[in-house]
Amino acid sequence: MTLAEWADLREDEPGELQDGLLVEEELPDGLHEVTVAWMVHMLRAWIAVRGGVVMGSEAKFAVRPGRGRKPDTTVYLPGRRPPMRGLIRVPPDIAVEVVSTAPSDVRRDRVEKLDEYAAFGVRFYWIIDPAARSFEVCELGSDGRYVHALGATGGQVQPPGCADLTLDLDSLWSELDRLLQDDTPE
């Protein structure tokens, strides 16, 4: 499958493109989706008044020939805009991945996507791990590789490159804990 064919798939057709093959995406659970929604809400409230763009998890990015990804959240800082239709070939300033619990998903987010987003030119790669209660920011260096710029497990953090943005991680973790406490299997 080509990138163009992948981009033309119906929006409800799941999967990312890896070396020309359509592969299963992660299987997100409720905690993953709450974390993504929280992050989109926080980023949208911060960037909208500044003229930037936040997108959700179905935007398709051509990260390299034969390889397409759909980050959980992406941000274009003021002065930059992606195309609003079709396959996106312009790297976002920020790509956010929320780590799912399956070992293959952890490997994909922490190893494969790390290298791919760096080669694509994504300036900041944020990795949020709800199970580990961790938030990491990797910043693209002049050598085209990521440098660990921030690691936190709680408190209020100010991600590099995002003036005046404060993320209250304790608030996010508390919300996840509350949802887990109220979670009763049926």
Instruction: Judge whether 101 lies within some domain.
Output: yes
**Number of compact structural domains in the chain:** 1
State yes or no: pLDDT of 1 exceeds 80. Answer: yes
For the chain, percent of residues with pLDDT exceeding 70: 96
Instruction: Judge whether 26 lies within some domain.
Output: yes
What pLDDT, on the 0 to 100 scale, is given for residue 183? 67
State the residue range of the domain holding 103.
3-181
* Mean pLDDT of the 115-137 span: 96
Instruction: Judge whether 186 lies within some domain.
Output: no
What pLDDT, on the 0 to 100 scale, is given for residue 26? 67
Instruction: Judge whether 113 lies within some domain.
Output: yes
What pLDDT, on the 0 to 100 scale, is given for residue 184? 64
Instruction: Judge whether 137 lies within some domain.
Output: yes
Instruction: Judge whether 32 lies within some domain.
Output: yes
> Which CATH number belongs to the domain containing residue 117 in this structure?
3.90.1570.10
Instruction: Judge whether 127 lies within some domain.
Output: yes
Q: Where are the alpha helices (DSSP H) in the chain?
A: 3-8, 30-47, 103-107, 113-120, 169-181
Geometric angle at alpha carbon 170, from 103 and 112, rounded to 5°: 25
Instruction: Judge whether 8 lies within some domain.
Output: yes
Geometric angle at alpha carbon 110, from 89 and 150, rounded to 5°: 90
For the chain, percent of residues with pLDDT exceeding 90: 63
d(CA 162, CA 159): 6
Q: What is the pTM of this model?
A: 0.90
Structure tokens at 164: 């005046």
Geometric angle at alpha carbon 146, from 45 and 110, rounded to 5°: 80
